[in-house]
Structure 1
Amino acid sequence: MPPEILRWLRCPVCGQPLVAVPATNDPAAAAGEAGPAPRTAALRCPQRHTFDVARQGYVNLTAGRTPHSGDSAEMVAARDEFLTAGHYDLISTALAELAGRLAPPPGTSPGYPGLVVDAGAGTGQHLGAVLDALPSATGLALDVSKPALRRAARAHPRLGAALCDTWRRLPLADDSVGLLLNVFAPRNGPEFHRVLRPDGVLLVVTPTAEHLGELVDRLDLLRVDPDKEERLAEGLAGYFAPVAAMPRRRTLSLRREEVRTLVGMGPSAWHTEPARLDERIAGLPDPVRVTASVRIAGYRPR
């Protein structure tokens, strides 16, 4: 875990700072000062609450069992394949653009943005792209899915990853985050407000009603809630003020196997019967034109 991130992490049990615990059986531990740093085995607070760091690089900052395990390994693999192909680059590009547009004037907020957090980061693809555009920032990917965090921990050299339930208290200090990303993920307004700096920015990405519209009826996929934008505004109204909105729309040309990957990476994967889905996909044109349509909204703390 990069020290620039570790300084802001907090114990999910007692809220105190965490320090790295080196692995005593790691060969690097005996390498001496000139050798590589020993692998971190865990993070520990002054009350000796201890949280294991997985070999894949993410730390488990849950305080007991989580009510759900998040996306499965199959869903995460599908998402990684689809995002790596660049189909949703419009989202990463828009996030970086809006983050730059909403940044405080130079010299008014020293160290901004500092820590960039993606709440519900998945594989870390979007967070990594934003960090590429912000060379002085470090990033933290938060997710409840272990398969996702195994990939997120390797998504960027300035990125750390932590397992946590974003519906609960986030394992972060007050006013620690300069830029908070939320892409197609649950939104915890009170916690987002607590951890965001007064000069910070929250960027939320949601699908519009026409997102993947060409596939919804043909494949019997879940529909976007027509009241989604209104519910988003209501959920954040007491904590954040909207300051910008950026619609983004692109027509994708997808092969049938890419459509199968797209469905497999999203919430419809939990609600579709595989054999029936494959039958319906076989009836699609190859390639098929599909609309990607999202809204990126920017907010500041009230």
Structure 2
Amino acid sequence: MHARQSSVACESGHDFAISAKGFLNLTPHQKPLKGYDETFFASRQRIMEHGYYREVHQAVAASLNELANTATVIDAGCGEGSYAKDVARALPHSTVLGLDIAKDAIRVAARGGGPVRWLVADLANIPLSDSTVDAILNVFTPANYDEFKRVLKPGGMLVKVIPAPQHMHELRELAGEQLSEADFVDHGVSEHLMRHMNVVSRARVTQTSPVQAEDALDLVRMSPVAFSIEEHALDLGSLTHITVDAEIICAQFTFRRDCCAKSLVPGQEPGTRRSHNPKSR
């Protein structure tokens, strides 16, 4: 890549404009993903700002602080960017990049400026050279383990956050038959990591918070598994508390030949985004 005044050019001569808000779009022809619009990501941003995920944020930052090498950290599937911003504050001397395939996610994330470098990019084709990243953060979102292995330095760390059994159980109960429990489970992600990677640590974080009336609708709208919910049929006044329940797994690739076999596994939870590319699910 070669930087110009208002764009970046690749070795093949393709030119990618830097937006007025300061982010780089490397998938300019990507069609919008249904449901993943600015309203969706703004709802997520407000929920994060209001502290419902505070303990997960703190645990993620603590996990990265314990690593010996954090010169370059990427938040892969960064959404509205709250975790990447936290990492940048916790690691002020690190280069932090936030990547998401949804342009509206990066548009929301880039608001307010800051040190994080924002990229609209596909996790199936991460625009970084081999062995250049010290740590990858992948929170409640599908992963592409082949690409993660490619860009991580030997000994680099993946910090993977997946939903635990009590995650958003109040929302499940409120929605009744409109949501199934299968929408909230991790689909074997932790077992996959145990089989194919060197798991360094596992920690569970559970936080139950009272729901402010003005946040109830955002809690529903921030979840892609709730896209099919009929909002008017919900008694939002009865959503008085919400539980965030997560498992944080720190793991390293073993660099065995088969370590990534069948490795493209989704971590499904309220807030998980499905890539348009099935290989990155």
TM-score, normalised via structure 2 length: 0.82
Q: 1:300 corresponds to which residue?
A: 252
The answer (yes or no) to whether the contact 1:124–1:155 under 8 Å persists in 2 is no
Higher relative CO (CA 8 A, sep ≥ 6), structure 1 or 2? 2
Find the aligned partners of 2:165 and 2:134 in 1 and give their Cα distance.
30
The answer (yes or no) to whether the contact 2:35–2:224 under 8 Å persists in 1 is no
The answer (yes or no) to whether the contact 1:43–1:51 under 8 Å persists in 2 is yes
Q: CA deviation at 1:43?
A: 0.7
Find the aligned partners of 1:228 and 1:90 in 2 and give their Cα distance.
20
The answer (yes or no) to whether the contact 1:58–1:153 under 8 Å persists in 2 is yes
Find the aligned partners of 2:70 and 2:113 in 1 and give their Cα distance.
17
User: Pick from 151, 156, 163: which aligns with 2:108?
Assistant: 151
Q: CA deviation at 1:224?
A: 4.9
Q: 2:88 corresponds to which residue?
A: 131
Q: CA deviation at 1:89?
A: 1.3
Q: CA deviation at 1:64?
A: 4.4
Find the aligned partners of 1:118 and 1:223 in 2 and give their Cα distance.
27
Aligned pair 1:281/2:221, yes or no? no
- Tell me the secondary structure at the aligned position of residue 139 of structure 1: strand
Output the amino acid matched with 2:215.
E
- Tell me the secondary structure at the aligned position of residue 206 of structure 1: strand
Structure 2: gaps (5+ residues):
255-281
Q: 2:134 corresponds to which residue?
A: 178
The 10-residue stretch of structure 1 (65-74 or 250-259) with the greater mean CA deviation from structure 2: 65-74
> RMSD of the TM alignment (CA)?
2.2
- Flag the structure with larger Rg: 1
Pairing 1:90-239 to 2, within 5 Å after superposition = 90-101=55-66, 103-104=67-68, 112-154=69-111, 157-166=114-123, 168-220=124-176, 221-224=179-182, 228=186, 230-234=188-192, 237-238=195-196
TM-score, normalised via structure 1 length: 0.77
Q: 1:21 corresponds to which residue?
A: 4
Q: CA deviation at 1:100?
A: 2.3
Aligned length: 252
Find the aligned partners of 2:32 and 2:253 in 1 and give their Cα distance.
29
Q: CA deviation at 1:153?
A: 2.4
The 10-residue stretch of structure 1 (227-236 or 191-200) with the greater mean CA deviation from structure 2: 227-236
- Which aligned segments of 4 or more residues in structure 1 are displaced greater than 6 angstroms? none
Structure 1: gaps (5+ residues):
1-17, 23-40, 105-111
Output the amino acid matched with 2:243.
T
Q: CA deviation at 1:274?
A: 2.6
The answer (yes or no) to whether the contact 2:95–2:116 under 8 Å persists in 1 is yes
Q: 2:8 corresponds to which residue?
A: 43
Distance 1:123 1:141, change over 3 A: same
The 10-residue stretch of structure 1 (152-161 or 66-75) with the greater mean CA deviation from structure 2: 66-75
- Tell me the secondary structure at the aligned position of residue 214 of structure 1: helix
Cα deviation digits, residues 119-144 of structure 1 (max 9, x gap): 11011111111121112101111011
Cα deviation digits, residues 28-73 of structure 1 (max 9, x gap): xxxxxxxxxxxxx211023211112111211111274358367211
The percentage of aligned residue pairs carrying the same residue is 29
Distance 1:208 1:162, change over 3 A: same
Find the aligned partners of 1:79 and 1:64 in 2 and give their Cα distance.
25
Find the aligned partners of 1:294 and 1:300 in 2 and give their Cα distance.
20
